[in-house]
Amino acid sequence: MIRLLLRGDDFGGSLSANQAIAEACEHGLLKNVSVMAPGPYLEQGALLLADCKEICFGMHITMNAEWDRVKWKPVLPANQVPSLIDEQGYFLAHPSLMGKVNLEEAIAETLAQYNRLREVGFRISYVDEHMFFSYSVKGYAEWLDAWCRREGLINFHRYFRPLPRAAEAAAGSPAETVDLAQIYLSDHRQDIQSAPEGLYTVILHPGLDSEEMRQFGNAEISGEQIAAERDAERRMLLVPDLATFYSQYDVTSVRYDELEERN
């Protein structure tokens, strides 16, 4: 049997992500949603999903803002976390730029993000990291693990085991006529069929192919490609054949908090 922690990241980061993730959750396969406290649409996301007891919510700890035109600021005032921000007050663009981040400031911002999520109504069961930034902040990973244990939260690292790739990842382009959702579905099926029994994490970023999502992007990837790929992930989760395939191959979509209950 294969168990999958299907996780939808960046909830609260855009209206397009909020709508796409909510739609995927309604179809029943996506059961874990990681929420960005600094996201500009956090409150709108809370109105959509915070009361949904079928979803396991996590804190998507955000300490960087990687896009050129879409940026996030800390929850805390800038004068309390100066090492986390650039000259405009936004998070630094990439974890590789965070080598001089002050550990105490990173801890303070983490706690502020956690409190903010609870203030708007989210019941947080697990925590994970936007772009796996903790490697850049000395001592942060150790602190996070200890804090999760004290708070009764699940550190995603405890169960993080990516689903092995059997097929080469598809590289999509809005100019192509191929259906990226079908390509992603085919690749996912191959990955499942070749994987040994066990528990795996599949990180997804469902979105809409919208003008808003096309504002995302940087020198490495265009906003048009991001929008196309994230919309394809959304549509893949909605394809009825995916649930049928899971049933045929004894694949179960599980929640983080279900794993803790079994242990």
Domain edges within the chain: 2-262
Q: What is the pLDDT of residue 178?
A: 76
Of 83-97, 109-123, 177-191, the poorest mean pLDDT is in: 177-191
How confident is the model over 51-78, as a mean pLDDT?
97
How confident is the model over 74-93, as a mean pLDDT?
98
User: Do the beta carbons of residue 207 and residue 213 sit within 8 Å?
Assistant: yes
Class of the CATH-defined domain 2-262:
alpha beta
Q: What is the pLDDT of residue 169?
A: 56
pLDDT-derived band at 260, boundaries 50, 70, 90: confident
DSSP class of 121:
T
Residue 8 has pLDDT above 50, yes or no: yes
DSSP class of 153:
P
Give the tens place of pLDDT for each residue, 98-144: 999 999 999 999 999 999 999 999 999 999 999 999 999 999 999 99
Residue type, 14: S
DSSP 129-160: EGGGGGGGSTTHHHHHHHHHHHHTPEEGGGG-
Question: Is the pTM for the entire model greater than 0.85?
Answer: yes
Task: Centre a 10 Å sphere on the Cβ of residue 90 and count the other Cβ atoms it contains.
Answer: 18
Task: Centre a 10 Å sphere on the Cβ of residue 182 and count the other Cβ atoms it contains.
Answer: 15
pLDDT-derived band at 171, boundaries 50, 70, 90: low
Q: What is the pLDDT of residue 224?
A: 98
Q: What is the pLDDT of residue 263?
A: 47
Report d(CA 180, CA 230) in Å as an integer.
10
